[in-house]
Amino acid sequence: MHRSLSLAVIAGAIGGLIAASDACAWGDEGHRIVGRIALPLLTPEARRQVDALLAADTDTLTAPDFVARTTWADRWRDSDRNTTKLRYTATQQWHFVDIEITNPDLSDACAGRRPLPDGTPASQGPARDCVVDKVEQFAAELADKSLPQAERILALKFLLHFTGDLHQPLHAADNHDQGGNQVQVLYGGHRVASRLHAYWDTAVVQRIGRDETAAAEDLATTFAADRDAWQRGRPADWALESFAAAKATAYALPSATVPDEHGTPAYALDEAYEQRATATAREQLTKAGFRLATLLNAALR
Ligand SMILES: [Zn+2]
């Protein structure tokens, strides 16, 4: 455990019992920005097949369109979170890959990177798996037209979401704090601390812009020259990038905490931290959008 984090980790542990797996990655806005960046980059053929799959889907957890479906996997996970927890338990670990800051090992974070058991659809795969493997599995299913349409619809919806999750730095890194869920921070004049993870899910995305359509257009234009380079690689490479971003920015916290209004020790994020976080989130969301388009275009030829 990082020494300077220990106080906040201990203090956060109580709240952490409740919020233990509250790792939802980018909030809805972040996911929709990823979708809005990817959509115009689809080939006509990929777009045709995506539209056909979405049109055949009767699920009502979200609106049926491409951008809304980027948030479906969170809705699915949370749909029985307070009742039977069947969907919750089966899928919640698929949203992240907890690569440890102190001892980074992707294989460890992915339960040994075991392939799916023979004949098991990815949507029914073991609960103990990581977002890297799930992106690979669902991309392969989407490309396989011999599979039942229902499974390919699930594959599409999981892929739309998990490609985003993979790029949230705190979904690819962990400091024995559940990806920043047990670390408290203060920012933007708030007097009550909130979780570092939540800061990266939503607060930093709001700094990018409140109009998600404009934000997506701005990001796609700003980083257009980087697109070809960013579209290379595989999900495992992208996870290691997210991990590096987490180390360099998300976990680059002040050396000491201060008490919030209730006496909870929290790291006060200064403007320099927030600016670095915003710059990182802008890049990560854009990479996710570009790469989602790459995965869909490759799968749906
Ligand atoms: Zn998620």
**Residue-level pLDDT at 295:** 98
CA 115 / ligand 1 centre spacing (Å): 22
Residue pLDDT, tens place only, 38-78: 999 999 999 999 999 999 999 999 999 999 999 999 999 99
Q: Does residue 134 share a domain with residue 53?
A: yes
Count how many domains the chain has: 2
Domain final residue, candidates 153, 168, 183: 168
Q: What pLDDT does 158 receive?
A: 98
298 occurs within a structural domain: no
Last residue of a domain, one of 168, 193, 222: 168
List phi, psi (to 5°) of 103.
-150, 70
Ligand 1 midpoint to CA 127 (Å): 14
Band of the pLDDT at 25, cuts 50, 70, 90? low
Q: How remote is the CA of residue 158 from the centroid of ligand 1, in Å?
A: 9
pLDDT in tens, 67-118: 999 999 999 999 999 999 999 999 999 999 999 999 999 999 999 999 999 9
* SS3 assignment, position 161: helix
- 67: CATH: 1.10.575.10
The CA 298 to ligand 1 mean position distance, Å, reads 23
Same domain, 175 and 286: yes
- Indicate if 206 and 276 belong to the same structural domain: yes
pLDDT at 188 over 80: yes
Whether residue 59 is contained in a domain is answered as yes
Q: How many other CB atoms are there within 10 angstroms of residue 151's CB atom?
A: 17
Checking if the pLDDT of 10 tops 60, the result is no
Same domain, 54 and 164: yes
Single out the residue of 48, 16, 295, 301 nearest to residue 162, CA to CA: 295
Q: How far is the CA of 166 from the centre of ligand 1 (A)?
A: 9
Ligand 1 center from residue 34 Cα (angstroms): 13
Which SS3 state, helix, strand or coil, does residue 195 take? strand
CA of 263 to the centre of ligand 1 (A): 31
Same-domain check for residues 174 and 141? no
Would you say residue 263 lies in a domain? yes
Q: Tell me, in angstroms, the distance from the centre of ligand 1 to residue 44's CA.
A: 28
**Spacing, Cα 201 to ligand 1 middle (Å):** 10
pLDDT at 147: 97
Q: Residue 28 has what pLDDT? A: 95
> Are both 18 and 54 inside the same structural domain?
no
Q: Which pLDDT band, with edges at 50, 70 and 90, does 183 fall under?
A: very high
- Please spell the DSSP secondary structure of 18-39, one letter per residue: HHTT----S-HHHHHHHHHHHG
**If you measure from the C-alpha of residue 258 to the centroid of ligand 1, how many angstroms do you get, rounded to a whole number?**
30
299 in a structural domain? no
| pLDDT category of residue 2 using cuts at 50, 70 and 90 | very low
Whether residue 174 lies inside any domain: the answer is yes
In a domain, 202, yes or no: yes
Considering the chain, what is the average pLDDT of its residues?
92
Among 168, 194, 221, give the residue marking a domain's end. Answer: 168
266 three-state secondary structure: strand
The rounded Å distance from CA 101 to ligand 1 centre is 21
How does residue 166 score in pLDDT terms, banded at 50, 70 and 90?
very high
pLDDT in tens, 260-287: 999 999 999 999 999 999 999 999 999 9
Containing domain of residue 253, as a range?
Answer: 3-26+170-293
Give residue 26's pLDDT.
83
Of all residues in the chain, the percent with pLDDT exceeding 70 is 92
Q: If you measure from the C-alpha of residue 22 to the centroid of ligand 1, how many angstroms do you get, rounded to a whole number?
A: 10
159/259 same-domain check: no
**193 and 158: one domain?**
no
Tell whether 300 is covered by a domain. Answer: no
**Would 182 be classed as within a structural domain?**
yes
